[in-house]
Chain A
Amino acid sequence: MKTVVAFSKTLIGALLVPAFLYSSSAHSQETIRVSAQGGSYDVCVKDVYFDAWEKETGIKVEVTSPSYDLGVWRTQQETGKPDWDVATADVGLLHELVKNDWVLPLDRDLITRDGGMIDLPGLIPEIDGKIYALPSELFATVVTYNSKTYAGETPKTWADVFDTAKFSGKRMFSNMVVDFGVLEVALLADGVAPKDLYPLDVDRALKKLDTIKSDILWYDFGTQQIALLQQGDAVIGAGWDGRVRALQRDGGTVEFSPTQAIIKPDLWVLPKGGNFEVGAKFLSFIDNPERQAKFATCVGYGPVLRKAYDFLPADQKFTVDPNNTEGFVVWNAEYWAQNAREVTARFNEWLTR
């Protein structure tokens, strides 16, 4: 019987652990909790932003869970215990967060400070006249190919990616239709001009995709791009510029064409229930041309601050040239905010057919 009592005590203790952890992780002025992103992004964020921030302010950075997941946001907001004072998001996620009232509006001064952002329409996500996010770098979905396979003429446009006669081999695309633009890509390949892209003609896009369906390898995660390209399972398709650059650094024979790139800003947001004061301070800290240039060089995604381009090494080129923003497509958050569910359902029906 004694043992049972002792065991029950242990068990009750074990059950109380989560509650204890909860109370002990309460905010203190000395830490800021920032969401993780994964991969090389986390390494660069630490090297360029966190270390300098800790040195300057004395506030310790605690990297917590990833925040690119609406389910996680919902759970945290329902329990009233957000895991972050500052979190990263993309434009599609931002719209959902604002709709649910889970992020706080920011000071407009962040966006317009000393010269501000490069001139790309739709770069600054404004919702109902308020700004809820700070863009920090540009992430692009680009025509990606194995430079050894196509040593002669290289693919440049999305139409080339769909031309299986001229460029044979398996194509890779993301099956996350909301995020990574496979429908946009199909329409551009079919000759739709960037300015006429939205609202998307989903039927036309799927019909175009049908023409190469048997040649497509679909990836679920960004990591798979690297694996598929490195192994030669896929030799052409849609990749992300930063990932391709990372692979080039590791000696991979990959190349990308910036033509018709689909651009999306990476965003920083302040979750409701987090420490707003220290979060806003952190955003001001990273909204700095010199640091942003360093970060962009490290991670391979282009900066958004106009002045950051002056601090780049001479040989450092990014997908978007700030002096010439023609010919790119900025991923349209308003369209997707309204149509994501329905279009995803239609796409998945087509995909699994």
Chain B
Amino acid sequence: MKDHQLKVSPLAVAVLPGIVLLAIFFLIPIANLTARSFTDPVLGLQNYKALFGSQTYLRVGGRTIWLSFLAMSGCIIIGTPVAYAIAHSKRQVLVSVTLAVLVLSFLTSSLIRAFAWMILFGAKGPVVAMLSAAGLGTQTLLATPGAVVIGMIHFLLPIYVLTAVAGLRSMPYELITAAEGLGASRWYALRTVYLPLAFPTIGNAGSLVFVIAVGFFITPALLGGPSEMMLGQLIAISVSKFGDFGFAAATGVVLMLLTLLLLSAVQWLSKPKQKR
């Protein structure tokens, strides 16, 4: 190979197919959707006017964000220690078993999982039985925010953990050993050395599950009531009952922009901060 020959960077070759696929199957449809929200049924802003003029959509939109935030927080609180253990544990068997359990639950369809939770939270389910044994009688836990958030966390946790493990594996674990060598307790070292460095990873994995949560449809439909309704359900109604593609597209566009806005906030917050 001569020096002055044009070199195709292997990196470019590697990312090209992905970019082509994304452009065809993601960017063009998104552009199409956005265009539709301004043109269907007629050119104008009527879809957005209707959307922002609707109490229902504002209310349900707020709940969608709130429930997704709760689900994301749940994943961070429950999932981060698990990801930490998988990333740094020396016990290969434990790591393999934990990963296997995560991947297996990830492979079960969301519909089946939502139905399983319906039974668990239902009137004859074990959770109601435990609560009444503890003297906290209730007839059913269906149509409660708790049921929906737990159902969501169950679906999202494997995604969160697997994403976080990849990031945490690249963390310099020796820093903890070093801090302990300098007299810090394990907890103190984790809190002051490890966690600040892990923030971007936690932020990324958290953002990912938040984005997925915002689009949930089947879980709130089966486990929640009207107070846990999410935008996915309303979008489905406007498409399948009324064929209102323009209005549904407008709802989708607003939800997408809102999600992007919240994500940039999360990204900004999880940037490693310099202590001054």
Q: Give A residues with C-beta under 8 Å from B.
A: 1, 4, 7-8, 11, 15, 68-74, 96, 100, 169-170, 175-176, 178, 217-218, 220-221, 224, 227-228, 231-233, 340-341, 344-345, 348-349, 351-353
Q: Are A170 and B140 in contact (CB under 8 A)?
A: yes
Contacts of B104 in A (CB 8 A): none
CA distance A74 to B20 in the complex (A): 29
Contacts of B118 in A (CB 8 A): 224, 227, 231
Q: Which residue of A lies closest to B229 (CB)?
A: A352
Q: Are B225 and A233 in contact (CB under 8 A)?
A: no
CA distance A228 to B124 in the complex (A): 10
CA distance A218 to B223 in the complex (A): 10
With contacts A218-B225, A233-B122, A352-B226 taken as known, whether A344 is within 8 angstroms of B237 at the C-beta atoms is: yes
CA distance A217 to B227 in the complex (A): 11
Q: Are A340 and B241 in contact (CB under 8 A)?
A: yes
Residue from A7, A348, A353 whose CB has the most chain B CB atoms within 10 Å? A348
What mask results when residues 59 to 73 of chain B are scored 1 for a CB within 8 Å of chain A, else 0? 110000000000000
With contacts A11-B20, A232-B124, A349-B56 taken as known, whether A74 is within 8 angstroms of B245 at the C-beta atoms is: yes
Contacts of A73 in B (CB 8 A): 243
B193 at the interface (CB under 8 A from A): no
Q: Are B243 and A217 in contact (CB under 8 A)?
A: no
B264 at the interface (CB under 8 A from A): no
| Pairs of residues from A and B, 8 with the lowest C-beta to C-beta distance, nearest first | A71-B239, A231-B122, A70-B243, A232-B123, A69-B240, A220-B221, A74-B243, A233-B140
B98 at the interface (CB under 8 A from A): no
Residue from A7, A71, A96 whose CB has the most chain B CB atoms within 10 Å? A71
B234 at the interface (CB under 8 A from A): yes
Residue from B13, B16, B125, B242 whose CB has the most chain A CB atoms within 10 Å? B242
With contacts A217-B142, A349-B56, A351-B226 taken as known, whether A231 is within 8 angstroms of B124 at the C-beta atoms is: yes
CA distance A228 to B139 in the complex (A): 12
Q: Which residue of B lies closest to A224 (CB)?
A: B222
Q: Are A7 and B240 in contact (CB under 8 A)?
A: no
Q: Are A231 and B243 in contact (CB under 8 A)?
A: no
Contacts of A340 in B (CB 8 A): 241-242
Q: Are A218 and B143 in contact (CB under 8 A)?
A: yes
Residue from B234, B237, B241 whose CB has the most chain A CB atoms within 10 Å? B241
Q: Which residue of A lies closest to B122 (CB)?
A: A231
Contacts of A15 in B (CB 8 A): 24
B115 at the interface (CB under 8 A from A): yes
Contacts of B243 in A (CB 8 A): 70-71, 73-74, 96, 100
CA distance A74 to B125 in the complex (A): 42
Contacts of A68 in B (CB 8 A): 240
What mask results when residues 213 to 240 of chain B are scored 1 for a CB within 8 Å of chain A, else 0? 0000000011001110100011001011
13 contacts between A and B (CB under 8 A): A4-B16, A71-B248, A96-B242, A169-B139, A170-B140, A178-B241, A217-B143, A218-B143, A221-B222, A231-B119, A231-B122, A345-B56, A351-B226
